[in-house]
Structure 1
Amino acid sequence: MHAAQSIVAPAFFALTLVVAGRPVQRRLVRLGMHRMLAALLVLLALYLVLVVLAVALGWSIAQLSTTLPQYAPEFEGLYQTVSDWLATLGLQVAGINQLLGAVDFNSVLGLLRRAASGLSAAGAQVALLVVVMFFLALDSTDTASRRRLLARARPQLSDALSGFVVAVGRYWIVATVFGLIVAAVDVVALSVIGVPLAVTWGVLAFVTNYIPNIGFVLGLVPPALVALLDGGVSSMLWVVALYSVINFTIQSIIQPKITGDVVGLSPTVTFVSLVFWALVVGPLGALLAVPLTLFFKAVLIDPDPGARWVDAFLVTAGAAAEPATTPEPVAVTDDGAAGAERGPESFPDRQGSG
């Protein structure tokens, strides 16, 4: 997977996005819309979301590239102040000066420009993401026969994958809703404080909200630094205080609790999976840490009753306390929705929808 990360990461990302749109697609089919038309409408909606996100990121990077040069004198003054303060403490700052002397404000702008060019270089992965989403949307119009075959041959695996589909869809919904809340609150708070580029930092907060555990820190550092350069220490302290109260409370306390209830993974496993998958499949692994963990849990652990003891170390306390039950065979209706399949011990009138 590490060797093929440029293929694995965007392909799996495409899978999770199409899976997240499946409930809407099934609802459209139940309302009488043709399967192909429903799949195309959901696909277009997903493409629109990706385009809006890409435009917002590009606009934010452009805003940073044009605005940050205005703070070059303040940055150099801050650097000199810190060097003088370290000197008064008796620290040997010669080595630090030699190290940081080559890191001027223009190099920071160079990092932004390289980030922008890196987004352009990722065009191949974006193209793969778009194409895979298209073919997955076509395949999603006729999944009944595949799911019947899987339910007959591997009923426990079928049940586990059905759980994965539900959990991933809920995870993206929870992350998106909380990201929008955090971004809106941050923009208002930063505007009140008077920090420049408030909307840009709101976009950053929305994107970093998809990164478990450390997204709060990644979204805090840039606006705090700009607040320090623009308004001084007091402005920076206000940003840190508001982010700690708002973002930390929402992203690190409330959201993980709801996410844990939705996907069943403990906070420790979520953080370790973030580090692990970022090393395995690259930067997208940080965004896909929870879905990837859920997928391999569904494939390797949930279908095997003898391996479910591993859940004691993976899932939340409430989920771990629930006794393991044998999954019920899953049947698939003509519109692709899963229902309870009649087995030898099933009641004749028991049937539902998934």
Structure 2
Amino acid sequence: MLVGAAAATIAVAGVREIAWLVAPVMLALVVVVALMPVQRWLLRHHVPRWAAATVLLVLVWGVLLGLGSLLVIAIAQFAVLLPDYAPQFAVLLDDTVRRLDEAGLSSTQISELVDRFDYGQLVGVATGLLARVTDTATTLVLLLSAMVFLAIESGGFGRRLALVAEERPHLPIALGLFARGTRSYLLVSTVFGAIVAVGDTVALAFLDVPMPVLWGLLSFITNYVPNIGFVLGVIPPALLGLLGGGWPEFWAIIVVYALLNFVVQTLIQPRFVGDSVGLSMTVTFLALLFWGWVLGALGALLAIPLTLLLKALLVDVDPRGHWLDALLREEPRPPRTSRARKRAHDRRAALASVRSLHPHWPSRRGSPD
């Protein structure tokens, strides 16, 4: 046990040291896994292998560059808009100090802090964030060049797994479970993210916030970050609403975002995510913290897929690790969607295959599938 814990600690430390390499590669890999059915469909319809690989490569690049471009544009526009609101910010700050003073809460320290505050610092934060995102995007583009080979050779990946299965029969099964779980998670997140984005865009347009469509797209992207994506997506429009319309508009934006997030992303989406990936909300949040610490911002974005990969390798296909499954998944209940039922069926079939290869492993009773 101690040796295993020490090895895991060393492995995590090593991954954290090369997070600049691991995170972009894992992002590209997850996108390839998500879009792999497109290539398989083309191959089934007798499209040449090179053409199917080219289509997959174009889709991968299109998705990654599209999402990255939207993020860069959102931050850039935010940085461009902020200087225009400098007079409104000064008025808002003076009004806030006056209200605090009337309420008897003002103090010399607060007054000095307000006097020293430079609005340009806020613009500098947005500009610095843009520079960091641009640097990350540049690194991502360079590393995605290696994904050309992955896309080209992905058509023969099944044959390679068949060869691997001769020596490590559980590995292809685990990777299959990971791929199906990742696709289900991304599908659910995309559908509900689009619903929230449309609602946010309509609300922002009604409140006359500048560029509502852009902030709606930003909320769509941040939806892929579990638990805290709502907070990341609401900051720019809420701040613009505060500077342009004062506190009433600020709180209106916060309330709209919070209601949409609570209803869709807190009450509805987690149930479908739990059915599709077999992870509880608590595990999802802890995964966000862990992978964000290990891999940074991209780690937070990839928290669910990376957790699914570890779960598939260490829990799903190893009966000796099944006791962990009860701690990771939602409360046992019958699957409520066709995708969830199919995932449960695939998982039971995979476990049966593994047990047939390792009859000495203990069987598990009372599976929550």
User: TM-score when scaled to structure 2?
Assistant: 0.83
The residue that corresponds to 1:149 in the other structure is 163
1:3 and 2:27 aligned: no
- SS of the equivalent of 2:215 reads helix
* Aligned pairs for 1:334-349 within 5 A: none
Question: Which residues of 2 match residues 204-215 of structure 1 at below 5 A?
Answer: 204-215=218-229
Match of 2:130 in 1: 116
Kindly state the Cα deviation for residue 107 of structure 1 after the two structures are TM-superposed: 1.0
Structure 1 distance, partners of 2:153, 2:110, is: 58
Assess if the C-alpha contact under 8 Å between 2:241 and 2:250 holds in 1.
yes
After superposition, the Cα gap between the structure-2 partners of 1:34 and 1:100, relative to the gap in structure 1 and judged at 3 Å, is farther
Larger mean Cα displacement after TM superposition, 276-285 or 62-71:
62-71
Distance 1:123 1:232, change over 3 A: closer
Preserved CA contact (<8 Å) 1:278 1:285: yes
Answering whether residue 191 of structure 2 is matched by residue 177 of structure 1, we say yes
Do structure 1's residue 267 and structure 2's residue 291 form an aligned pair?
no
**CA contact 1:278–1:286 (8 Å) conserved in 2:** yes
* Deviation readout 1:149-181 (Å, 9 max, x if unpaired): 232323333222211011112222222222222
Q: Structure 2: which amino acid aligns with 1:68?
A: L
Q: CA deviation at 1:328?
A: 4.3
The whole-number CA distance in structure 2 between the counterparts of 1:320 and 1:98 is: 60
- Equivalent residue number for residue 242 of structure 2: 228
> Corresponding residue for 2:9?
none
Partner Cα distance (2:114, 2:293) in 1: 28
Change beyond 3 A, Cα 1:288–1:199: same
Identify unmatched segments of 5+ residues in structure 1: 331-340, 343-354
Equivalent residue, structure 1, for 2:92: 78
Give 1:320 shift: 10
Q: What CA distance in whole angstroms lies between the structure 2 residues aligned with 1:118 and 1:203?
A: 20
Number of the residue aligned with 2:326: 312
Whole-angstrom CA distance in 2 between matches of 1:93 and 1:320 = 59
* More deviation, 35-44/124-133: 124-133
More moved, 319-328 vs 31-40? 319-328
- Alignment match, 1:287: 301
Q: Which residue identity lines up with residue 5 of structure 1 in the other structure? A: A
1:12 and 2:26 are equivalent in the alignment? yes
TM-score if structure 1 supplies the norm length? Answer: 0.86
Contact persistence 2:72–2:130 (CA under 8 A): yes
CA displacement at 1:199 relative to structure 2: 1.9
Structure 2: how far apart are the matches of 1:24 and 1:306?
35
Tell me which amino acid in the other structure corresponds to 1:327. L
2:351 maps to 1:327: yes
Structure 2: distance between partners of 1:252 and 1:180: 15
* 328 and 152 in structure 1: CA distance in 2 versus 1, 3 angstrom threshold: farther
Offset of 1:143 from its aligned partner?
1.6
* Conserved 8 A contact 1:260-1:316: yes
Structure 2: distance between partners of 1:319 and 1:146: 36
Q: Is the contact between residue 39 and residue 141 of structure 1 (CA under 8 Å) also seen in structure 2?
A: yes
Amino acid of the residue matched to residue 155 of structure 1?
A: P
Once structures 1 and 2 are overlaid, which stretch shifts more, 292-301 or 85-94? 85-94
Match of 1:37 in 2: 51
1:188 shift after superposition: 1.4
Q: Secondary structure at the match of 2:351?
A: coil
**Counterpart residue identity of residue 88, structure 2:** E
8 Å CA contact 2:78, 2:236 repeated in 1: no
Give the match for residue 59 of structure 1.
Answer: 73
Distance across 1 between alignment mates of 2:88 and 2:318: 60
**What is the letter of the counterpart of residue 189 of structure 2?**
A
In 1, Cα distance between equivalents of 2:172 and 2:113: 56
Deviation of 1:138 after TM superposition, in Å, equals 1.9
- In 2, Cα distance between the equivalents of 1:312 and 1:226? 45
Residue-by-residue CA offset, 1:86-134 (whole Å, 9 max, x unaligned): 3344446333444454442211111111122112222442124412321
Equivalences, count: 334
- Per-residue CA deviation, residues 39-74 of structure 1 (Å, 9 max, x unaligned), is 210210221222322332233233222222121122
Return closer, same or farther for 1:213/1:143 CA change in 2, 3 Å cut-off.
same
Cα gap change, 1:52 to 1:88, in 2 (>3 Å): same
Residue pair 1:83, 1:93 contacting (<8 A) in 2 also: no
Q: Residue 293 and residue 99 in structure 1: after superposition, are their counterparts in 2 closer, same or farther (change >3 A)?
A: farther
Q: Which residue of 1 aligns with 2:8?
A: none
- Which one scores higher on RCO, CA 8 angstroms, separation ≥ 6? 1
Distance 1:29 1:328, change over 3 A: farther
AA aligned to 2:200 is: D
> For residues 240-271 of structure 1, what are the alpha-carbon distances to aligned partners after superposition, in whole Å with 9 as ceiling and x for unaligned?
22222223311222222111111111000001
Equivalent-residue separation in structure 1 for 2:86 and 2:26 (angstroms):
41
Distance in 2, matches of 1:29 and 1:329, equals 27
Cα 1:123–1:238 change in 2 (3 A) is closer
1:166 equivalent to 2:180? Answer yes
